[in-house]
């Protein structure tokens, strides 16, 4: 069995949003449940709060599909016809932005003490990244031992998993700018605070006194970061800002 994650970045025609949401949570989920190795699926919408606020956010919506596949070459492509149903039905905007990328994951979610596993994520951030040629081992060590720990301990950030672009892809195929996928999960009702605290720790100016280590130069600057909020299903995060540390260090949050 092998862990795979497929991300579906897309837009929906302005008058079809309700239809897409109903399709995703009802017939689409029922069809997904019949796929061998299917584990979970959720849908997200891009947020105003972003770390890389200056870059384009061409997709309003993101769907994330998780699988544990017995035979990826046979099983992974089975998602394609289900997405084609939505495309053929006019639920996906024909604006040239749709992208489907599949990744072979290095691991499942790795959580910090912030994580409340029994409760849903409020959203996810997606990094489409790369490492500097010839420095893969250094990049992975930095992410696994340093950066993932730093990020998931930020208030509201709770878990991370990473993967590598698979040779197996779902049609229609497009160039993917990120060979490395980083998914970070949030449990926060104040994403603006969570994003700012992430930035403050990276710059060494957090009220907590916690500063992130310098970014490894094994990580390429050819990367983009995108934040999304969860919009599918029947359960939603309502637990404030998940944090195992002392919120009293932040003005007005004691």
| Omega before residue 172 within 30° of 0, cis | yes
Strand partners of residue 131? 219
Q: Where are the beta strands (DSSP E) in the chain?
A: 2-10, 38-46, 61-69, 99-105, 110-111, 123-129, 157-165, 180-186, 224-230
Instruction: Give the residue among 100, 51, 27, 43 at the shortest CA–CA distance from 229.
Output: 43
Determine, yes or no, domain membership for 249. no
**What is the domain range of residue 103?**
2-241
Give the pLDDT of residue 212: 98
Percent of the chain predicted with pLDDT > 70? 100
Task: Indicate the average pLDDT of the chain.
Answer: 97
User: Half-sphere exposure of 121 toward its Cβ, with a 13 Å CA cutoff?
Assistant: 26
Query: How many domains would you assign to the chain?
Result: 1
User: What pLDDT does 141 receive?
Assistant: 98
**Interatomic CA distance for residues 152 and 160, integer angstroms:** 7
Per-residue pLDDT, 105:
99
Predicted confidence band of residue 1 (pLDDT cuts 50, 70, 90)? confident
| Domain assignment present for 189 | yes
Residue 252 lies in a domain: no
pLDDT value for 254: 66
Indicate the pLDDT class of residue 121, thresholds 50, 70 and 90.
Answer: very high
The domain spanning residue 8 has which CATH number? Answer: 3.30.70.100
Q: Is the dihedral of CA 189, 157, 225, 32 positive or negative?
A: negative
Please check whether residue 250 lies inside any domain of the structure. Answer: no
For the stretch 66-80, pLDDT in tens is 999 999 999 999 999
122 falls within a domain: yes
Kindly report, residue by residue over 20-79, the tens digit of the pLDDT: 999 999 999 999 999 999 999 999 999 999 999 889 899 999 999 999 999 999 999 999
């Amino acid at each position: 069995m092998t862990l795979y994650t497929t991300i579906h970045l897309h837009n929906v025609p302005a008058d079809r949003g309700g239809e897409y949401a109903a399709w995703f949570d009802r017939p689409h989920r029922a069809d997904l449940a019949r796929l061998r190795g299917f584990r979970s699926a959720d849908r997200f919408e891009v947020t105003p709060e972003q770390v890389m606020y200056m870059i384009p956010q061409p997709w309003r919506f993101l769907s994330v599909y998780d699988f544990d596949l017995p035979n990826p070459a046979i099983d992974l492509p089975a998602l394609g016809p289900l997405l084609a149903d939505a495309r053929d039905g006019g639920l996906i905007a024909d604006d040239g932005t749709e992208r489907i990328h599949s990744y072979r994951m290095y691991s499942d979610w790795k959580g910090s003490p912030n994580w409340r596993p029994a409760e849903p994520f409020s959203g996810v951030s997606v990094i489409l990244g790369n490492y500097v040629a010839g420095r893969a081992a250094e990049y992975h060590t930095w992410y696994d031992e340093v950066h993932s720990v730093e990020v998931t301990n930020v208030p509201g950030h709770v878990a991370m998993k990473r993967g590598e672009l698979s040779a197996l892809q779902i049609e229609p195929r497009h160039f993917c700018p990120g060979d490395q996928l980083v998914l970070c999960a949030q449990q926060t009702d104040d994403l603006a605070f969570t994003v700012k605290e992430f930035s403050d720790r990276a710059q060494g100016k957090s009220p907590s006194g916690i500063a992130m280590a310098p970014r490894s130069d094994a990580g390429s600057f050819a990367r983009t970061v995108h934040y999304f909020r969860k919009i599918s299903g029947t359960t939603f995060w309502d637990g404030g800002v998940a944090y195992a540390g002392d919120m009293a260090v932040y003005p007005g949050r004691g």
